[in-house]
Structures are given as C-alpha cells and as structure tokens.
Structure 1
Amino acid sequence: MTHRRPLPSPLRGTAFTSDERALHEVSRNRLKAADITTLSRGVYRSASETLPATELEAQDTAAIMRKIGAVLSHRSAARWHGIPLPAWLDGLDGLEVTVPHRRHTSVRAGLQVHRRPLPEAHTLIDQGVHVTTPERTWCDLASLLRPGQEGHLVAAGDYLVTPPWTPDGREEALSSIGDLQRALTASGRFKGVRLARAALPLIRVGADSVPETLLRLGLVDAGLPEPELQVLADPEDQWSPAADLGYRQWKIAMQHDGAHHRTPEQQERDARRDAWFQARGWMVIRVTAADIRDGYTRVIALVKGRARAMATGQAA
C-alpha cells in the first residue's frame, strides 16, 4: 500500500488553489490521491467529514474566486453591504462576481461572472472577503435595471448616503453623493451608465426606507414640490418629533408605516408623535402598504387637496 503524505494543516479539510498548493510545497502527484477532489481548473478540495454542506460550498466558492481573481459584486455585493434590492433581483440565486480581465476562466456552476475593468480603489476586503465598494456596487446595480426602474437605484443611493438610525443615534453613512459621483465617473462606459446618471441627481440624504424614497419620487412625478425629509414640526424645539416626509408650507406630515410600526410600543410612540403634530395644526398622513400598491394615489390626492385648501384659506 502506497504511503500518502498528509497535507499541510492549512490545506486539510478545505478548498485551495494551485498557487496555495505550490506555496505549501504539495506536489502535483499528491493531487491525484483519493482524498482530494478537483472542483475546477486549478481549484481542489481535500476531504472533510466534519463541516456542514453549506460551509463546504462557501469554501469551494471562495477558493474558485481566489483562483480567478474574482471580487464579490452586483447583487451579492449589495447584500453584503445591506443595500436594498427590488424583489425580483433579491430572489435570484447564485453569487455574482467581477473578474477584471477577459481571459477564459472555468468556474463553478452557480457563480455568475462579470468581466470588466475593476480599479483597485473600487474594491475592499471585509472580514477576509474581496468585495466591491458600496459606490462601485451602486454603479453595478444600474446594469441590472431597465429604463423606468431608476427609482430602485435612487433608493439604493439614498440608503448609502443616509446615516442609519440605531437606538443609540445615527451612525456614519456608508457613502456620500460626492463619492457616488466619483465612482460613476471612474467607471467609464458600461451597461446602465445612463440609468445611473439619471438616478444620481435624485439621491437625497434622509430617506430611511425604500418606500420613503418611492413616495418622494411619486409626489414629484405627480407635479408636487419635492418634500422635505425628516421634517421637524418645530425646528426650535429640541423635543420636536420628526415626520418621514412633509411639506412645511402646507403643514403636512407623512409617516410611512412599516412592519416595525405594528408593535404596541411603537404604535404608542406613533400616536404621541402624530398628536404632537396635530396639536400644532399639521395634517398627518399615515402611508401604508396599500398606498405603495396603488402608486400613492390616495396620498397624492390628500396632499393636493390640502395645498388647495391652504391656498384658499379653507384648511382647518
């Protein structure tokens, strides 16, 4: 019986590349042993009896990405950064990666490879994973959308430039409008560049959800002025609550009721907030999922009606 030399510990029970094999001085003949499986050209896996299938799959994909010089991108990078995706994109399976060269590469099934230039400044390493930056990811998302769907790209941009809310206060935003502009300029010509150029001027700081972005865009598309975001009923009062969107000139406060508004505690806070606005003469419009489905027709009608009433002095 032929003696089989044990693999170096960094290569045991995991996937590895031909470069990593050479680095650890493992011979090519050793790769022919029964305890090693070829996953792709230049990518191998040594036997493991302890890891679950999902972790093995992740290791295999990571090794293939290292071999072909791939970077997590597009939908996969958006999920990594937490960027909201429309449902039809978020529901697609498989990882998307970018390879900054055009040579043929043999890859694993389920790995969608994009081949286009990728400057080093457009990538980062997060928790050991090579991934496109939030700004480059935003540009890449434009290539997955069609004309008329720029609202979703605006929502992704709003997410990146708005400091996220936490119980301890706002944290630093992932990006800025200026950084998105610089990434778009540096990306040159690509599929979706026109969509990105159309969406960029519509991005605003202050939208805390996709529905808030789509409502803002819907109001403007209906011929109304652009609403203010995170509206304080009384900017001089440090205790003044804020509305998601609003029109100070017409004293209209709009609140988008998401899933987190269904708890008794949140409903009580919402009621106190609404009463605060109403006591100062504001009209409060609670926006629901039904309004999203009908394109905010009800909300637009209420805003226009209030504006007309205020103009003729008929508003209460």
Structure 2
Amino acid sequence: MSKPRAPLPAHLPPVFTAREARAAGVGVARLRCPDIRSLARGLYARAGTGASAAQIVRALCFDDPSAFACGPTAAELLEMPIPRGLTAVRSRTVHVGSTLKHEDSALIRWHMSSDAEAKDAILVGGVRATTRISTWCDLASLLKSGDLVSIADHLVRRPRPRLEGRTEPYASLDDLAAALEGRRGRRGVRALRDALVRARVGSDSPAETRLRLALEDAGLPEPRLNARTYDGGVDLGEPDLSWPRYRVCLEHEGPRHLTRAQQERDIERTERRVSAGWIEVRTVASDLHDGCSRAVVRVDDALRRHGRTR
C-alpha cells in the first residue's frame, strides 16, 4: 500500500516556486503529485485553483526580489483601461521586469530593467509593479493611439471621492509631459506625444474618450467634459459631453445606469434638460462600434438642429 501524501502546508500560497516550496518543507517528489500543477519551469499552483497575474508575480518575486510586474500586466494590476486581449487571461502571458537575466516561457515574458526602474516599482495589493506613468509609457508600442489617449485620460481625470476613496488624480498633464521629456529618443515617444496632445481632463471612462475622439475626428466642435452646467439658473447636471453654445449634450449609458434608482435620476435629469431647450443624445455600447459612426451622425444632427453650420 502506497504511503498517503502529506497535505501541503497551509501557509504555502496558491501559486509558488520550487524554491518557495522547499522553504516550506515540500520536496521535489511532492511537487509531482496530482494536487499540484506546473505552470512553467519552477513555477507551480495548487490544483483546482486559478493562477492570477498578481499571484504569479508574487511567486516570482520570492525567487527574485528585483522582479516586478510591467507592461500589460502592470496595467492590469493597476486597473488601467487596456484592451481585454492584453490581459493575462486572454493573452496567457504575464510580463515581468527584473535586473537579472531570466529565460522566457510560454507563460512568463521577462523584460530586462535598470536598477532605477526596479527601485521605482510600487506596491499594488502587495505586488510590485511599475508606476502608472511608467506603465503608460511602456505600452506605447503595444496600443493604438486611441487606447493611449484613454489611459492618459484615466490618469488625469478628477476622481469622485465618495465613490473612489481618493481626492487627487493619478497624474497631471504636466506629469505626463515631464515623463516624456525623460524618454527622449526611446521607442514609442512620438506615439505618446501625439496621445498627450489629445488627452483631456474630465473624461470619466474609455467609452467617453472614444466618443470624444470620434466626434473630433469627424470635425465636430470639442465638447466640455463632465462639467456642471446651468441654463437660466436651472441645474442641468454634469453631462458626459456637452456643447453649451448649441444646447446639446451627450450621455453614455454605461453599466452603472442599469439600476432602477439611477434610471429614475436619469429620467428626471433628461426632463430638466428638455424643458430648458436642450437636446440630449444618449448612447449605448453599440454606438461605439464602427468608429462610433452612429453617435457621430446623431450628435452632428443635434448640433445642426440647434444652429451649427459648417
């Protein structure tokens, strides 16, 4: 009769390296048991559990204290708005920086970093990662222009303290410009400069940024963004995008508008705007397709109805 295998130590994390396992008293033979699965050379996970990007980076940092999440993986941990295809789950790749030389695997993509870059890494949920500004810069070669603008808008937007628990933006436009000055001659700087020119304070979501850029590309006037608006002493709220000169505004219906309470507030706000003589264009996810073409047509029509001429 075979000897029952010893249970894994309770303090051993869901994802761990061979070195961390040895430190916990788990031998090489035990790592071959069916309750443990191999993720990459020297990297393991408990069977039946997921292996998140954060857990993988934490495990790699046990072996290499200079390691940190970078690129798309850092952006994911920092909750920056990147395309879903770049997330660890979709791409099946975790990006890690280090001052040491490592071999890539099917799962881990290593990036050589300087001592300064490793030193500047910040803690995000207990995991080391590049700063938000550095991460934005590092994504220049991977993202389209609109995505770079969306991230810049995300970094400089004014937070809503009641909902987010913070009072200051992650960065200012000047902060982003200063970071680019320090990267002169490096790959992707031109794309970042072009994105920074189009970045604006006030956009609350990637959807709002996409709509704004599409409208501007179509030659429509640049809108105000989430700015408190009054007309004849009537408070019209903070439209996502607005053109006060023409009494036109746009509201994008994201997930938070699905609750009954929010819908009731939206209806009351729309009635106030219509009573004040405004046209409110409301968009949904499908309006973001085909370069936001349907939204462009609808906003253009509203502006023309209220006096805009080419």
Coarse TM-score class (shorter-chain normalised):
0.7 to 0.9
**Structure 1: which 5+ residue stretches go unaligned?**
1-8
Equivalent-residue separation in structure 1 for 2:30 and 2:71 (angstroms): 35
Equivalent-residue separation in structure 1 for 2:156 and 2:135 (angstroms): 14
Partner of 1:144: 142
Measure how far apart 1:273 and its partner are. 1.1
1:215 matches 2:211: yes
- TM norm structure 2: 0.77
Structure 1 residues 66 and 271: CA distance shift in structure 2, 3 A: same
Structure 1 residues 190 and 65: CA distance shift in structure 2, 3 A: farther
Measure how far apart 1:244 and its partner are. 0.3
Equivalent-residue separation in structure 2 for 1:171 and 1:99 (angstroms): 31
- TM norm structure 1: 0.75
Partner of 1:157: 152
The letter for the 1-side match of 2:127 is V
Partner of 1:294: 290
Equivalent-residue separation in structure 1 for 2:255 and 2:229 (angstroms): 24
1:267 matches 2:260: no
Partner of 1:5: none
Contact 2:69 2:96 (8 Å CA) reproduced: yes
Larger radius of gyration: 1
Moved more, 63-72 or 194-203: 63-72
Measure how far apart 1:165 and its partner are. 3.3
Contact 1:122 1:136 (8 Å CA) reproduced: no
Partner of 1:86: 83
Moved more, 258-267 or 241-250: 258-267
Equivalent-residue separation in structure 2 for 1:169 and 1:56 (angstroms): 24
Partner of 1:70: 67
1:308 matches 2:304: yes
- 1:224-243 equivalence runs, <5 A: 224-234=220-230, 239-243=235-239
1:222-246 CA distance string (max 9 Å, x none): 1112111013330796954111001
Partner of 1:99: 98
Measure how far apart 1:290 and its partner are. 2.3
Partner of 2:246: 250
Measure how far apart 1:260 and its partner are. 2.2
SS at match of 1:243: coil
Equivalent-residue separation in structure 1 for 2:218 and 2:245 (angstroms): 18
**Structure 2: which 5+ residue stretches go unaligned?**
1-8, 33-37
- 1:10-25 equivalence runs, <5 A: 15=16
1:83-112 CA distance string (max 9 Å, x none): 0112332331221112246x4x23554111
* Pick aligned residue for 2:112 from 107, 112, 115: 115
Partner of 1:125: 123
Give me the CA root mean square deviation.
3.8
SS at match of 2:261: helix
